[in-house]
Amino acid sequence: MHWSSISLPLTALSLAAPALAYPQARAEQPLAQTNIRNSRADAVKAAFVHAWDGYSKYAYPNDELHPISNGSGNSRNGWGASAVDALSTAVIMRNATIVNQILDHVALIDYSTTEDKVSLFETTIRYLGGMLSGYDLLKGPAAGLVSDKAKVEVLLTQSKKLADVLKFAFDTPSGVPHNNVNITSHGNDGAKTNGLAVTGTLVLEWTRLSDLTGDQQYAQLSQKAQSYLLKPQPESAEPFPGLVGSHIDIETGKFADGRVSWDGGDDSFYEYLIKMYVYDPKRFSTYKDRWVQAAESTIKHLASHPETRPDLTFLSSYNKGAYTLSSQHLTCFDGGSFLLGGTVLQRDDFIKFGLDLVKGCHETYNQTLTGIGPESFSWDPKSVPASQKELYERAGFYITSGAYILRPEVIESFYYAWRLTGQEMYREWIWNAFVAIDKYCRTGSGYAGLTNVNAANGGARYDNQESFIFAEVLKYIYLAFSPDDVWQVQRGKGNKFVYNTEAHPIQVA
Ligand SMILES: *[C@@H]1O[C@H](CO)[C@@H](O)[C@H](O)[C@H]1NC(C)=O
Ligand SMILES: *[C@@H]1O[C@H](CO)[C@@H](O)[C@H](O)[C@H]1NC(C)=O
Ligand SMILES: *[C@@H]1O[C@H](CO)[C@@H](O)[C@H](O)[C@H]1NC(C)=O
Ligand SMILES: *[C@@H]1O[C@H](CO)[C@@H](O)[C@H](O)[C@H]1NC(C)=O
């Protein structure tokens, strides 16, 4: 199917200009659709305010709310992760009250002190990405939201301070960073290797920081680390063109294995290859070439169809000649990545495959008792537990971890499918997921995770609300029902923003 020949019944654009798209149906149908869209957008905003108010009342300035006990946790170094992660969504929802509260908080953060080791990856995607995105939005298309311009500038000065605190992590013989570091002693956890995703998911944020400050050191550090991933050594690290191993030796920059997947640990390395090209096609065309190779190899070698549901497509993983037939909620960003690459590069085969992946991940939601998908699942016919035979026969997969910790990836890919095809079905899938999350995860003060998505009421609940419900889950849902703003994902080459892996929109170069 060619990208432009997909039928477009009700795109966000056609809703904005119903007279052009639907000359016969001016008064009734588009208006009714607009009303539904607006009421759904309002419901998502209300969910965001509910979670924000609970965090604000019981957990601020800690990292996250414990939404059952109304306590709080500091899993992200105690710098107020939920506040920083919520900023870009609050901007997109145009809630000036919350935006100003968060800006006041950012000004107070002391990134030079913490009691725990710091994860370079988590800190980059949540804090650095959150602040840079807030800066790009508030200096650009959302400039009217904050009248005090000095409060916006703080986002950039704090970003630079944070990167200056962290940059020693790259000071290794190869330039491949340590991920878990002590910012007081400049020590690390002693790891000999670093993971593919945590090494390869820094370059967007650190390059943006250089482009905004004019100080090239941040871009250079992250791109030097990335260089080993783009030209993998030894040969065995790249069993199929573009698909590379999972661990990189910090001393030499050589890969330590050739195990390939799109699962957690590897995932956002592939995500950022194409996103860097969207960020700046001039500087990052090599990244795009590597993504194309990986995508083609993935279609050829990793695509897998359950025996009981050959109509579904999942991604398997591969190591030394053997395939593992299992996947994860985390992996379900894959449909969105193929759709973004497909539309930007005008490759019908990638679009079609992306929609196949989206359909598979939707099935993991649609076939459970709660309508929410599991943390991990499998379709290996040799290992089906007796208790899940019926599920495997009907749904094509069985559950290996039934937890749901408020992850975004399935909804994220639905959002790309909605934006790029305009088919209402994908927006309905997003709405169904929202209704299910609101039904099973909502507490008096926020949203809690579930222990078993395929048990009545989702099993028990985890007393934790990850900051990414603010940054990602509620943002992607809201975007699907909100107007066609400049930060939305666009068809073709028209993207003015690109989303980091924590769903913070970064302005393209
Ligand atoms: C913005 O957030 C505040 C604080 O949570 C809330 O009370 C208010 O209703 C929100 N405004 C809108 C328009 O949603
Ligand atoms: C970091 O290093 C300092 C100074 O050596 C030490 O006091 C502290 O306990 C270390 N922190 C962690 C989390 O290892
Ligand atoms: C599964 O999808 C069907 C068709 O879209 C829908 O009617 C049904 O409610 C969904 N079930 C769940 C649990 O989401
Ligand atoms: C937590 O706060 C909410 C909202 O104020 C309240 O409904 C709930 O009962 C509280 N839970 C506990 C354990 O105090």
d(CA 143, CA 156): 15
Q: What is the Cβ-side half-sphere exposure of residue 311, based on CA atoms within 13 angstroms?
A: 6
What pTM, to 2 d.p., does this model score? Answer: 0.94
Is the minimum distance from the CB of 371 to ligand 3 under 6 angstroms? yes
pLDDT tens sequence across 428-465: 999 999 999 999 999 999 999 999 999 999 999 999 99
- Whether 150 has a pLDDT exceeding 80, the answer reads yes
For residue 28, what pLDDT is reported?
A: 40
Confidence of residue 14 (pLDDT cuts 50, 70, 90): very low
What is the average pLDDT value for the chain, to the nearest integer?
94
How close is the Cα of 118 to the center of ligand 2, in Å?
Answer: 11
Please check whether residue 232 is in contact with residue 255, taking contact to mean a CB–CB distance below 8 angstroms.
yes
- Whether 273 has a pLDDT exceeding 60, the answer reads yes
Q: Best of 182, 183, 188, 189 to mutate for ligand 2, by most ligand atoms within 8 A of CB?
A: 182
How close is the Cα of 339 to the center of ligand 3, in Å?
Answer: 23
How close is the Cα of 67 to the center of ligand 4, in Å?
Answer: 8
Residue nearest to atom 7 of ligand 3 (CA): 366
DSSP string, 293-340: HHHHHIIIIIEE--TT-TT--EE-EEETTEEE-EEETGGGGHHHHHHH
Q: Best of 52, 87, 95, 146 to mutate for ligand 1, by most ligand atoms within 8 A of CB?
A: 95
Q: Which amino acids are annotated catalytic?
A: 122, 267, 375, 409
Closest listed residue to residue 193, CA positions, set 229, 236, 217, 141: 229
How close is the Cα of 69 to the center of ligand 4, in Å?
Answer: 7
Domain extent listing, the chain: 53-507
**CATH of the structural domain 53-507, one choice from 1.20.272.10, 3.30.450.70, 1.50.10.10, 3.40.50.300:** 1.50.10.10
Residue nearest to atom 13 of ligand 1 (CA): 95
Closest listed residue to residue 427, CA positions, set 475, 478, 474: 478
Task: Report which bound ligand comes closest to the CA of 48.
Answer: 1
CA-only gyration radius of the chain, Å: 22
DSSP string, 367-430: TSSSS---SEEE--GGG--GGGHHHHHHHS-EEEE--B-S--HHHHHHHHHHHHH--HHHHHHH
Q: Best of 38, 42, 49 to mutate for ligand 1, by most ligand atoms within 8 A of CB?
A: 49
Say what angle helices 29-58 and 81-92 make with each other, to 10 degrees: 160
For residue 261, what pLDDT is reported?
A: 98
Helices (H) and strands (E) in the chain, counts: 20, 18
pLDDT tens sequence across 320-338: 999 999 999 999 999 999 9
